[in-house]
């Protein structure tokens, strides 16, 4: 038996063992720690397969006999899952506590990790579809176990409804491919390639949370416990992209440039829309959920560019764009799960996560706060962290598209470049707000002033993710050529510590980090002069008061005003006057989610109307149901007679 197979088997068994033990009544902390060890082994198996470049286990086949195996692409995604799952399980062991609910959540966590790992290891149609459905259903189970209020039920309903209606596209694509033997066989070409591509785009982008099919994501992610949010945002929404890579790059022949361009358009819409609405949120977990849409959009931009560049006959650049997309997938898994775990640690300490009612947590919780700040720098795409490295690669491939394609393609490349540039700037804006309101300044609530540092296991989980963000920011060049070789063109990128493009400059990450660190340290040292005694910041003679401090809505107001046409904010000011004196002023504002009000609300209203009409069929009378059966039978026989069923 191959070493990789042993590792994968051991990891799966340990995770399953932890899960079963939790379900049977073992303490949830122990169960989750065993799961974390299992996840480490699974990640090691993924890394082993990725590094060796050799597939293990079964190969893909279009039948329905269950088969499991790993190839390097699956290995990368398995590694991504494990990098999220191991810290998440360690973290959950501290936050869930003990008791029936905690044990149920621990068992759900393990099952979820196994279903995610199962999906990337699936090598046949039935396993693929089974794990696909399982990984959709389990998070809703976790949410229902964790919270039983009406909001949670509504969120879970929206999640299941949208992912299942949209997810039908995934079934259509996979069934069509399997029917033509394209899973692990010859490319599916001809007339079917276009419908399969379209079905795959709709089906997988719904599950990935790409706009305009994203509406479930900001509802479902904030409801789950923090470690589940981390797993959903960090790992689950990446797997539809894995499936999309398989379908569009491996199993079907290129149906035309439009697929790549559509993917780029969807990606640009998602990254801009996601970050814009994230900026307008005032609750931390909901804000982070919108940022997941943004980052999946960035990955989609890279994948779309890779498809277009492949079809234009530029293998090296196509591989570069592919590497950019995969690197960003991995990076996002790291920093987003770090941010969700940080949010969970804050929640555990201070309760509600309304941004305007936090503050000053960096001084009270230096480890958690420091790790959270690093995650914020990384997701904001600032040098020298990992978010910058993958966004740099994506930008380079989009710019290449802009400078070398034909007129139409170059214009779409330029528009995508502009979208990504705006996204990066907006993300920096958003995380300046988040870090400022959560970590810096004076505490705005007594709970924040009394917060204490998280326990050791949680700190280890978050510090590990923060270190991984730094490592991938400093040395992305060690991984990028491997990722590029997984691409459709298998082109080799120059390897080394820096990121290097085929013809457009390089990013010497290590040199930048060293220069930044050395210069900053030197300048800090020089500025260590006698300082005046500390005093409150000048506020025009007023005493600083928490209720006069800047708010999340205030900080983003310039942008809201500049984009008033796009965002259409609602604002209400009601004054209560008595005897000519104003007694009270009530002010409220919100930025409505236009996708919900303009797109989803009409659709769901129409669906409910149709459902009400269809309800009349359900009379409850056995005779009526027998008539339905008879009518269906007659219809099918008639169709058979007419030769429609073939």
Q: Which of 186, 352, 492, 515 binds another protein (CB under 8 A)?
A: 515
Nearest to 141 by CA among 153, 123, 149, 131: 153
What is the C-alpha to C-alpha distance for residues 397 and 420, in angstroms, rounded to an integer? 12
The CA distance from 380 to 332, in Å, is 11
Stretch that binds another protein, among 31-39, 106-114, 511-519, 620-628 (CB under 8 A): 511-519
Q: Is residue 496 close enough to count as binding another protein by CB under 8 A?
A: no
**Of 71-79, 124-132, 426-434, 612-620, which part binds another protein (CB under 8 A)?**
426-434
Q: Please say whether the beta carbons of 283 and 222 come within 8 A.
A: yes
Considering only 59, 65, 467, 504, the residue that binds another protein (CB under 8 A) is 504
**Integer Cα distance of 644 and 294 in angstroms:** 45
Nearest by Cα to 263 from 244, 278, 290, 236: 244
Judged by CB, which is closer to another protein: 192, or 382?
Answer: 382
Per CB under 8 A, which of residues 435..454 are in contact with another protein?
Answer: 435-437, 439-442
DSSP H stretches of helix in 312-406: 315-350, 361-364, 366-379, 386-404
User: DSSP assignment of 234-279, as one string?
Assistant: HTGGGHHHHHHHIIIIIIB----HHHHHHHHHHHHHHHHHHHHHHH
Site size with another protein, rule: CB under 8 A: 82
The residue (of 35 and 501) whose beta carbon lies closer to another protein is 501
Q: At closest approach, how far in Å is the CB of 547 from another protein? A: 12
- Cβ proximity to another protein: between 506 and 604 the closer is 506
Q: How far is the CB of 209 from another protein (least distance, A)?
A: 23
**312 is an interface residue for another protein by CB under 8 A:** no
The set of residues, in sequence order, having a beta carbon less than 8 Å from that of 551 and lying 6+ positions away, is 282, 355, 356, 437
Q: How far is the CB of 395 from another protein (least distance, A)?
A: 6
Interacting span for another protein (CB under 8 A) from 144-152, 295-303, 508-516, 567-575: 508-516
Binders in 614-633 for another protein, by CB under 8 A: none
Planar angle of CA 103, 108, 109, nearest 5 degrees = 95
Q: Which has the closest alpha carbon to 86: 43, 51, 23? A: 43
Site for another protein in 179-198 (CB under 8 A): none
If one asks whether residue 108 binds another protein (CB under 8 A), the answer comes out as: no
Q: Which residue has the tokens 């030769």?
A: 643
**Residue 254: CB minimum distance to another protein, A:** 23
Residue with Cβ nearer another protein (39 or 321): 321
Helical (H) or strand (E) element with 612? helix 601-614
Considering beta carbons, is residue 540 or 622 the nearer one to another protein? Answer: 540
Output the smallest distance, CB 462 to another protein, in A.
Answer: 18
24, 421, 492, 627: which one contacts another protein (CB under 8 A)?
421
Report in angstroms how near the CB of residue 65 gets to another protein at its nearest.
Answer: 49
| Footprint of another protein on 270-309 (CB under 8 A) | none
CB 449 to another protein: min, Å? 10
Q: Which of 135, 109, 391 is nearest to 239 (CA)?
A: 135
Q: How far is the CB of 495 from another protein (least distance, A)?
A: 17
| Residues numbered 383-402 forming contacts with another protein, rule: CB under 8 A | 383, 388, 392, 395-396, 399-400, 402
Q: Show the binding pattern over residues 333-372: x = contacts another protein (CB under 8 A), - = does not.
A: ---------------------------x-xx---------
Interatomic CA distance for residues 499 and 508, integer angstroms: 6
Tokens representing 580 are 């000519």
Nearer to another protein by Cβ, of 101 and 503: the residue is 503
- Which is closer to another protein, CB of 226 or CB of 389? 389
CB of 543 to another protein, least distance (A): 12
589 binds another protein (CB under 8 A): no
CB of 257 to another protein, least distance (A): 16
Q: How far is the CB of 441 from another protein (least distance, A)?
A: 4
The residue among 534 and 622 lying less far from another protein, judged by its C-beta, is 534
CA distances for 617 relative to 36, 603, 620, 622, 628, angstroms: 50, 22, 9, 12, 9
Judge contact between 462 and 226, C-beta under 8 A: no
- Residue 571 — φ and ψ, nearest 5°? -145, 130
Per CB under 8 A, which of residues 526..565 are in contact with another protein? 526-527, 529-532, 534-539, 544, 548-550, 554-559, 561-562
Nearest distance from C-beta of residue 375 to another protein, angstroms: 14
Q: At 316, list the tokens.
A: 């090296």
CA distances from 225 to 17, 113, 133, 572 (A): 22, 15, 21, 34
When the beta carbons of 49 and 358 are compared against another protein, the nearer one is 358
With 0-12 CB in 10 A as exposed, 13-18 as middle and 19+ as buried, what is 12? buried
State the minimum distance, in angstroms, from the CB of residue 541 to another protein: 12
CA dihedral 99, 105, 110, 115 (to 10 degrees): 160
Interacting positions 61-100 with another protein (CB under 8 A) = none
Dist. CA 71–CA 64, nearest whole Å = 19
Distance CA 159, CA 139 (A): 10
Q: Is 424 in the site for another protein (CB under 8 A)?
A: yes
Q: Rounded to whole angstroms, how far apart are CA atoms 405 and 309?
A: 9
Q: How far is the CB of 67 from another protein (least distance, A)?
A: 44
Please give the C-alpha separations between residue 45 and each of 52, 322, 472, in angstroms, as whole numbers: 11, 23, 20
Angle between helices 226-234 and 125-146 (to 10 degrees): 150
- Closest to another protein by CB, 82 vs 469, is 469
Binding test (CB under 8 A) with another protein, winner from 10, 194, 418, 471: 418
The pair of three-digit structure tokens given for residue 128, joined into one six-digit string: 């693929």
């Amino acid at each position: 038996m191959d070493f990789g197979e042993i590792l994968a088997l051991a990891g799966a068994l340990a995770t399953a063992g932890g899960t079963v033990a939790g379900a049977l009544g073992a303490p949830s902390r122990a169960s989750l720690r065993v799961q974390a060890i299992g996840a480490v082994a699974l990640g090691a198996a993924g890394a082993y397969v990725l590094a060796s470049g050799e597939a293990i286990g079964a190969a893909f086949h279009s039948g329905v006999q269950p088969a499991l195996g790993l190839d390097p692409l699956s290995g990368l995604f398995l590694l991504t899952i494990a990098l999220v799952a191991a810290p998440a399980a360690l973290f959950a062991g501290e936050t869930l506590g003990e008791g029936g609910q905690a044990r149920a959540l621990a068992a759900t966590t393990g099952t979820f990790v196994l279903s995610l790992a199962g999906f990337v290891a699936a090598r046949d149609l039935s396993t693929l579809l089974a794990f696909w459905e399982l990984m959709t259903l389990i998070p809703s189970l976790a949410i229902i176990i964790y919270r039983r209020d009406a909001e949670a039920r509504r969120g879970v309903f929206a999640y299941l409804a949208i992912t299942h209606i949209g997810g039908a596209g995934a079934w259509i694509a996979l069934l069509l491919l399997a029917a033509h033997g394209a899973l692990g066989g010859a490319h599916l070409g001809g007339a079917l390639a276009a419908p399969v591509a379209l079905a795959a785009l709709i089906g997988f982008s719904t599950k990935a949370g790409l706009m305009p099919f994203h509406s479930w994501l900001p509802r479902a992610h904030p409801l789950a416990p923090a470690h589940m949010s981390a797993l959903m945002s960090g790992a689950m929404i990446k797997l539809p992209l894995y499936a999309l890579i398989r379908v569009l790059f491996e199993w079907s022949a290129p149906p035309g440039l439009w697929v790549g361009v559509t993917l780029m358009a969807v990606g640009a819409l998602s990254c801009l829309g996601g970050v814009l609405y994230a900026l307008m949120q005032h609750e931390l977990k909901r804000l982070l959920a919108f940022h997941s849409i943004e980052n999946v959009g960035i990955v989609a931009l890279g994948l779309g560019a890779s498809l277009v560049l492949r079809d234009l006959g530029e293998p090296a650049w196509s591989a570069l764009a592919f590497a950019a997309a995969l690197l960003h997938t991995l990076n996002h898994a790291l920093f987003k799960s770090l941010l969700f775990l940080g949010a969970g640690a804050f929640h555990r300490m201070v309760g509600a996560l309304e941004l305007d009612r936090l503050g000053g947590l960096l001084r009270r919780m230096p480890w958690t706060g420091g790790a959270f700040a690093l995650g914020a720098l990384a997701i904001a795409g600032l040098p020298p962290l990992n978010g910058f490295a993958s966004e740099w690669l994506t930008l380079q491939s989009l710019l290449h598209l802009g400078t070398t394609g034909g007129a139409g393609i170059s214009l779409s490349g330029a528009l995508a470049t502009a979208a990504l540039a705006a996204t990066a700037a907006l993300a920096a804006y958003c995380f300046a707000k988040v870090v400022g309101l959560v970590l810096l300044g004076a505490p705005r609530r007594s709970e924040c002033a009394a917060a204490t540092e998280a326990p050791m296991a949680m700190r280890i989980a978050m510090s590990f993710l923060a270190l991984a963000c730094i490592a991938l920011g400093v040395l992305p060049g060690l991984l990028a050529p491997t990722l590029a070789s997984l691409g459709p063109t298998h082109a080799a990128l120059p390897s080394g510590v820096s990121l290097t493009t085929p013809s457009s400059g390089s990013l010497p990450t290590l040199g930048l980090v060293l220069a930044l660190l050395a210069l900053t340290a030197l300048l800090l040292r020089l500025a260590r002069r006698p300082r005046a005694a500390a005093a409150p910041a000048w506020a025009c003679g007023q005493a600083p008061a928490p209720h006069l401090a800047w708010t999340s809505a205030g900080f983003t107001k310039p942008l809201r005003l500049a984009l008033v046409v796009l965002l259409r904010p609602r604002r209400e000011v009601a004054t209560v006057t008595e005897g000519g004196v104003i007694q009270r002023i009530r002010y409220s504002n919100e930025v409505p989610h236009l996708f919900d009000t303009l797109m989803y609300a009409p659709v769901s209203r129409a669906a409910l109307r149709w459902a009400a009409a269809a309800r009349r069929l359900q009379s409850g009378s056995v005779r009526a149901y027998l008539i339905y059966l008879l009518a269906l039978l007659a219809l099918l026989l008639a169709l058979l007679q007419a030769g429609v069923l073939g």
